[in-house]
Amino acid sequence: MNNPEPHILIIFGASGDLTKRKLIPALYELFEQKLLPEKFAVLGVSRTELSDQEFRQKMREFLPGTSKNEAQLTIFLESLFYQSLETSFAGDYLKLKKRLETLGQTLSIPANYIFYLSTPPLLYPVIPQILAESGLNDVSQGFKRIIIEKPFGTDLSSARDLNRKLLSYYTEDQLYRIDHYLGKETVQNMLVTRFSNGIFEPIWNQNFIHHVEITSAETLGVEDRGGYYEHSGALRDMVQNHLMQLVGLIAMEPPVVIEANAIRNEMLKVFQSMRPIRETDVPNQVFRGQYTQSHINNEHVKGYREEKGVDPQSKTETYVAIKFFIDNFRWAGVPFYIRTGKKLPTRVTEVVIYFKTIPHHLFVYQSDSEPINNQLVLRIQPDEGILLKLGMKVPGAGFRVQTMNMDFHYNELSNSYLPSAYSRLLLDCMHGDATLYSRSDAVEKAWECVQPILDAWQNNPDIPVYGYPAGTWGPETVDNLVENSIWRKPCKNLAHDGEYCEL
């Protein structure tokens, strides 16, 4: 791969946790792999008063350090610069513009700029507008791109309003709405699994697939983010963005080419084909829950309403499970199930394809009177890999059948460089490749899919919030959502799935 064009990456909110813990380490990873341009600089921007050297020292604390790579670290840190700025004051942006011009002249870098908004969402419409009014959206002298972190709006109305404001100053190809889930190697591999293997694509449809289950579970609670989470909840925090993107990749039609617009067009079609969940359908198709106090490994665990910053009468969901359908030729009648939650037994994200059972049962099954569905498990984290569950003969007399596993693990590719999610996405933006970034129409369509759920919860106070003890798989009532009342209970380990469970 060719290195990107020389440019300056400007990080707004440079004193925040995301910059220190994710962005700068991701850039250093690219630097170590020699994937950054030869002429490159990072300009951190924040209200805090810091010198270039003080900023470098703060970032140094979050980078791996050994005597072997100290010289490399020094070279990388010298590419970091800092500019104090009041982000909501237009007059300060003249200082930013002059500083960029000075850096460009000193380091022989053309006016190619990437602006990363690692800031509170209320600044998402403010910073791009002032940048544009300061002439920093002008592409006549070099490219200008903006990376925007989630959440992209808090509902359909705010997402449309934000898109309208951004598109009044920038073209769609200048806007990069980042979702770090799409930067994960195993998420991208779902496309390769589907479209590079002739054994999967012919059966990837309603003729062979019984249902699809997507799980994103966390063992952590809200920790010290109770104040933020009260205004977010699991639906906004996980479903509208991360999990909807997974649905798009699993359900999309084959693109004509592996190119940004072709892939994003097909994902948009998935969202357009989703059967609307009406407000009256919400009580039967959507279940929400909150974790309650419990004991995990003999330690007392607080309930959500006891967390700092949380309303003692809060109805904010820490768990949500949804059943929905995609009304097109490929998926007609196939139910999709999504669930996500905090304080669950293990941290795991995976997609499970349940294939239909054979039409005529010839054999006796070892553990069940009825044969289980073949399953294809696409594990995103942890123990990343792919698992296929098959029926095999038990050794000995007769034809008794038991389920066996065929699996592949990404850690077997030990000789390959696997970039972190942020490294991959930053590098793609540097190359001008928006394949793994969300487009404005898809963002709005995803919000359209979940908005009726938010409206129903707002308008109908009788819709219950079910409690579930911390450390369990959510409210028991969600079993009624799934046919046969069977949810998969994944473990940390993908290998030996079903034989033992590591939590």
For the annotated catalytic residues, the residue numbers are 242
Alpha-carbon span 40 to 318, nearest angstrom: 42
Q: Which residues pair with 209 in a beta bridge?
A: 355
DSSP 309: T
Cβ contacts of 34 within 8 Å, gap of 6 or more: 3
User: 184 and 380 in contact (C-beta within 8 Å)?
Assistant: yes
CA 377/CA 193 separation, integer angstroms: 11
> In sequence order, which residues have a C-beta less than 8 Å from that of residue 367 and are 6 or more positions away?
402, 403
CA atoms of 456 and 45, how far apart (whole Å) = 41
Tell me the two tokens of residue 214.
């997507």
- 4 preceded by a cis bond (ω within 30 of 0): no
Nearest partner of 173 among 132, 143, 149, 129, judged by Cα: 143
Whole-angstrom distance, CA of residue 178 vs CA of residue 475: 32
CA distance 163 to 146: 13
73 contacts: CB under 8 Å, gap ≥ 6: 28, 60, 63, 65
Enter the DSSP assignment of 78.
Answer: T
Helix pair angle (260-273, 440-459), 10° resolution: 30
CA distance 73 to 177: 30
- CA 18, chain centre distance (Å): 15
**Which candidate, 88, 87, 40, 81, places its Cα nearest to that of 59?**
81
394: number of Cβ within 10 Å: 15
CA distance 182 to 436: 6
Q: Which residue has the tokens 């009624």?
A: 480
Ramachandran class of 496: left when φ > 0, alpha when ψ lies in -120 to 50, beta otherwise: left
